[in-house]
Structure 1
Amino acid sequence: MAKTRVYLDWNATAPMRPQAKAAMLQAMDLQGNPSSVHAEGRAARKIIEDARANIAKAVGARSADVVFTSGGTEANALALVPGLRRNGDVATRLIVSAIEHSSVRSGGRFPVEDVQTAPVTSSGVVDLERLRALLADGAPALVSVMLANNETGAIQPIAEIAELVHAAHGILHVDAVQGFGKIDIDINALNIDLLSVSAHKIGGSKGTGALILTERLSGYEPLIAAGGQEKGRRGGTENLPGIAAFGAAVAAHLDAGAAAMARMQKLRTKLETGLQAVTPEMTVFSSDVPRLPNTTLFSAPSMKAETAVIAFDLEGMAVSSGSACSSGKVHASPVLTAMGVAPETAQGAVRLSLGWDTTEAEIQYLLEAWRSLSNVLVRSSDVVG
């Protein structure tokens, strides 16, 4: 195969879907403010409400529960607010898992002294017994757990977590930014109270997201109250082009259905099998638990992630050393540290993430390149130990 660019960093951001780009350009030509009552304003409002309906359908929520934001980080900040009520119980403290995105680990609007951390197992999933103990030791809590980890792809046992949280009179927030569009989500079947999603992970534009705030909750306080937009839950004129693109991207995802996810899983299996055939001593993190169908985080003896990412790039492949929000910073991954991974193994972790138009030829191209790259990046197996 001739040298080309292969994009395998979809967990950092997905390329815009053609449908999303077309919807965004069309919305840019509209003149009306969505809050205006004239014809131009109503046309803009219809685009927003159609997008809201698509997002609600994708997660089994009511359209009225979808609040548009500037992205997943803001959606998380909106969710993490003291004083939320569910069935009369008030959440006065926050529990977050040890592998959360930095926007959740920061604690939102909770004082630092009211934030606790729930440990995870060596497989990268929440330790349910440790969470149970935290819930029993104090007042009702708002618990924030991601649907699937952005680095390892490990899918969290949300239904079981919801059962524990609600039995302790708590509230459950789920950051679904990475899982949205890669696995099925039913907010009611999983008994989730708040759900964060983002547009650019599913093929929409950057700078748009949403918080699904279910009717089971009360006591919500917006970050931006002025203006009255989004039913007073998030002030400021809505980002019409971004929301239009978001809605179109979700519609395209719904049209693709389960077949697209199954295809990604098949390609990931080919990828991991091929890598391990060349480097049998490599580690694939969270391989013993359910993972996103598109995500592989691996490490090999003596490999340095920074060097590996550059080497892949020079060979025409975009990969990541982990979370894009932490790229360029030389420190151990908080996710791998929480999993108890040895520093010398964690420092070599490279993430490969696939998307809806990743091809078998691109996977084969990477595997062929790995045969030569591994000779430079990885300590030979006869030296191991």
Structure 2
Amino acid sequence: MHIQKKTVLLVVLLVALAALAFWYVMKPVTAKSGAPVAVPVRVVSVVQKDVPRFASGIGTVLSLHSVVIRPQIDGILTRLLVKEGQQVKKDDLLATIDDRSIRASLDQARAQLGESQAQLAVAQINLKRYKLLSVDDGVSKQTYDQQQALVNQLKATAQGNQAAIDAAQVQLSYTRIRSPVTGRVGIRNVDEGNFLRTSDTDGLFTVTQIDPIAVEFALPQQMLPTLQRLMAAPEQALVQAYIGADGTSGEMLGEGRLSLIDNQINANTGTLRAKAEFSNAAQRLWPGQLVTLKIQTALDKNALVVPPTVVQRGLEHPFVYRIKGDQVENVPVVMVYQDSDLHIIKGVSAGDQLVSDGQSRLKPGTRIQVLGDPVAQANVSEPKP
């Protein structure tokens, strides 16, 4: 009997311990199901600012003036007055050609002109005399007419001699080669002492204008209305040239203005050529260089800007999660502009705090926990082209 009581007490004790353990295990679950856990998220604030829009393309740097210096007469190159790579101005003397033969021809033409002018003077005096004598029939009409013809002949001869002088002076001017443009001297092809011919195709060297300079580029034909609008604007559109493969990672070489669009579209490629002009005092743009161009096509003033991660895609329209107290609400938005760096939206206000990370666990009314301090401004930059 005593043993049975001990057994019963032991069973009761074991049951009580089991019940206590079961209650202890189940208590946290009940508490957890009763109070929802806050979802951790990161937030940004909507920023209001002016946002420029850009289009981009690959272009080639071109000189506005590039001249091959060639001789205009045959002769020996006597002097080269510039060095390779030298900056020259328009009308600077570059080289000289042996001019002795041309000067001799010029002196001869001047002597012949003097002779003709002397003969013409005598013939004109005789003509006056014959004219007076013909009044009293002191000389025949035929003699007078012959003298008149001689005067006309000598006048023509004098004019021909003057033309020969002018031609010789032009030839003489060709012996002094001057720069037709302001620019940079290229690599020299001939040295002093060589015999130059007008048929030489290579020329002496080139003179290439570096400042200002142009960049020619191609854009899709769909850009034609935009380019026409930019050309018709009171101020020429801003164009930036970069050395990199895109307009962000590369180094900017200069800023210029859109100056020209071509008068036809390439039917084979569906592209339209255009040209921009750049000031190039630092000579960072070089003829023949390939560059990436960014063209400012528009400016959105007071735009509401957010990072791309903020906007979610809904079945009917894009939306964002806006912070409301310790919960979120679903706000439909309109996409005005988007690229890989930023989105411009409508439907929210400047300063609104929006969820930028953690949206997959959210729905309207979900309690949230903001990780870290709320970001004062969205970390966005100018849009990529």
RCO higher in 1 or 2 (8 Å CA, sep ≥ 6)?
A: 2
Question: Is TM > 0.5 for Structure 1 vs Structure 2?
Answer: no
- TM class, shorter-length: under 0.3
User: TM-score of the superposition, structure 2-length normalised?
Assistant: 0.23
Structure having the larger proportion of residues in strand: 2
Q: Which structure has the larger Rg?
A: 2
User: TM-score of the superposition, structure 1-length normalised?
Assistant: 0.23
